[in-house]
Structure 1
Amino acid sequence: MESYAIIDESAFPLVRITFTGNKGNDSNFQRYLEQTKNCYRHKKKLALIFDATKAGIPSFSHQKMQGEWLRENKKLMEDYCMGTAYIIPTAAIRTLLKMIFSFQQQPIPYEVFETNAEAEAWVTALLAYNNR
């Protein structure tokens, strides 16, 4: 099965989720959601960078699944996620993110950036501020 996203925890508490550009199906999309939730298994503060540079537009059912995931994991995110940076260079994907958040608002601070450097700078500052 081709991965929908690659999750890299090697720089924890910074977690990087990179969308591969592979077409989503119910199986690989569900796996992506499960792996994202697994990032919280340590029950320690973290910050996320979602790199959607190669992301395609997920189906409506997958958008809805993402919204449901946000609703179901709201408390987990509030307790452990300091913030999320999204790297989204295209306007279509930025619009899609707004649509997903219309199903369920993200309960933590987030920012949308066009470049990796901007996202990393924001997350680095966020981690430094929260670790003082």
Structure 2
Amino acid sequence: MKKYATIDSSNYPTIKVIFTGEQGNDDNFPFYMQEVKAVYEQQNKVVIMFDATNAVIPALKYQKMQGDWLKENEQLMKDYCLGTAYIIPNLIIRNVLKAIFTFQKQPVAYLVCKTMNDAEFWTKEQLNNDKN
């Protein structure tokens, strides 16, 4: 199975979810969501950067699945996520994200930006705010 996204926790507690450019399917999309949930299930505070630089537009059924996932895992996110940054240079994909958030609101602080630098700056602020 070709992965929809990879999870990089080498800079923990900053987690990077990097979309591979593979189209979502009935195998890789649920697997991606399980991997993200596993990050929260460690029950440690994290910030997550979703790097959608290479992302492809997911089919509507996967957009809905993502919205449902947000709803089902809302409490986990509130408990352990200090914020999520979405790196999305593509305007169309930024609009898809907005559509997903109409199905289910993002339960934690978030930033939608075009560059990794912006995301890194913002996530560091979120971590620093938690320490204060």
Fold match by TM threshold 0.5: yes
Q: Take 1:77 and 1:20, find their aligned partners in 2: how far apart are those partners?
A: 23
Counterpart AA for 1:72 = E
> C-alpha deviations, 1:9-47, integer Å up to 9, x for none?
111111000000011101100000000000012211110
Helix, strand or coil for the counterpart of 2:43? coil
Count of equivalent residues? 132
Aligned to 1:64: 64
Q: Take 2:80 and 2:24, find their aligned partners in 1: how far apart are those partners?
A: 27
Instruction: Name stretches of at least 5 consecutive residues in structure 2 with no aligned partner.
Output: none
Runs (4 or more) in structure 1 with deviation over 3 Å come to none
Aligned to 1:4: 4
> C-alpha deviations, 1:86-121, integer Å up to 9, x for none?
000011011000000000001000011100001001
Counting aligned pairs with the same residue, the percent is 48
Q: Take 1:48 and 1:56, find their aligned partners in 2: how far apart are those partners?
A: 19
- Relative to the length of structure 2, the TM-score reads 0.98
Q: Over aligned residue pairs, what C-alpha RMSD do you find? A: 0.7
- Relative to the length of structure 1, the TM-score reads 0.98
